[in-house]
Homo-oligomer: A and B are copies of this chain.
Amino acid sequence: MKSKALAHSNIALIKYWGKKDPKLFLPWNSSVSMTLDRLYTVTEVEFSPEFKEDTIIVNGEKLEGEKKEKVVRHLNLIRHIGKTDLKARVVSENNFPFGAGLASSASAFAALTLAATSALGLELSKKELSIISRQGSGSSCRSIYGGFVEWKAGNISEESYAEQIAPKEHWDVRDVIAIVQKEEKKVSSRAGMAQTVETCPFFMKRVEEVGKYLPKLIKAILDKDFKTLGEITEFDCLSMHATMLTTKPMLLYWSPETVRIIKEVVSWREEGIEAYFTVDAGPNVHVITLPEYVKEVEKRLSEIQGVKEVISCGIGDDTKVI
């Protein structure tokens, strides 16, 4: 009753920001992401009658309080499906910083979902895994798949799942990440998006707009139309941050460096470098580009004042048992 799984993080090209149903993790809008090879979580789960309580160890540290509760709630869901009440020991290792907008909870919950269900001997389809994973952390459902992935919003739990748009072999798109801050953000995504839905006057308009450009992004991925992919990605990122800024109280996830990098990326395009920015709920900037520009983008990003680290990613695989 022990299993280990590896799941990759993902970068959303169309963001998930805002729940229609906070209990079931049903999002207001569908979203699209690329799974990232270099950022991943490895999680081992063991169930045993010998355990008196759940123990969660992340990067060598035992979780307590709200962070532990979040994982225990997810284990409860999986125990319910697996018809068991055995306690678990979860040991998880992330190869990248937590909570700085690198979607650590995406890879963490995808790996946890697969490791735990597999430890209980459950044989689930990827669709089923994505539905379960979604209830631990929304965007984690996209990490169940490699390549380019859509999370269909749906109106009930069974309709809100991830689906692969194209596998990683389809198109070699890169994400060069400029890390400007490694600390956890002050306002978690979960709290932030709840505030946005409640107080931002532009939020429903954003949802409506996503419905218009999401099919165009999927077509751009299938057609390998990089310019369209980049333009939709940037617009969607700005649209999300526009709703964050107009949330009460304001959510300003950007740092000074975020603005500096965004302006740089835009100016590089004038020189012919095909690169587009996107920023999650944090200050780090993801530069979406093509293989031929990666070396130059890495070099330029690392020379920008305030950039602490540059992580270059290709497209990753499905979450898998290892």
Contact = CB atoms under 8 A, between A and B. Distances in A.
Interface string A253-280: 0111111101100100000000000000
A294 to B, nearest CB: 24
B256 A260 contact: yes
A202 interface: yes
A219 interface: no
Interface stretch (A75-83, A167-175, A244-252, A311-319): A244-252
A246 B242 contact: yes
Interface centre among A241, A243, A256, A262, by most chain B C-beta atoms within 10 angstroms, is: A256
A259 B260 CA distance: 10
B248 A235 contact: yes
A301 to B, nearest CB: 15
Nearest to A257: B256
A52 interface: no
Nearest to A208: B201
Interface residues of A, number: 29
Interface in A120-156: none
A44 interface: no
A252 B254 CA distance: 13
Chain A contact surface mostly: helix
Interface string A194-211: 000000011001101100
Interface in A221-243: 234-235, 238-239, 241-243
Interface string A178-222: 000000000000000000000001100110110000000000000
A259 B254 contact: yes
B246 A245 contact: no
Contacts of A258: 259
A262 B234 CA distance: 23
Contacts of A263: 252
B205 A209 contact: no
Nearest to A236: B246
A245 B243 CA distance: 10
Nearest to A241: B245
Interface of A: 201-202, 205-206, 208-209, 234-235, 238-239, 241-243, 245-246, 248, 250, 252, 254-260, 262-263, 266, 306
Q: Which 4 A-B pairs have the closest CB atoms?
A: A256-B256, A242-B242, A202-B202, A238-B245
29 contacts: A201-B205, A201-B206, A201-B208, A201-B209, A201-B239, A202-B202, A202-B206, A202-B242, A205-B205, A235-B246, A235-B248, A235-B250, A238-B245, A239-B246, A241-B245, A242-B242, A242-B243, A242-B245, A242-B246, A245-B245, A252-B259, A252-B262, A252-B266, A255-B259, A256-B257, A256-B259, A256-B260, A256-B306, A258-B259
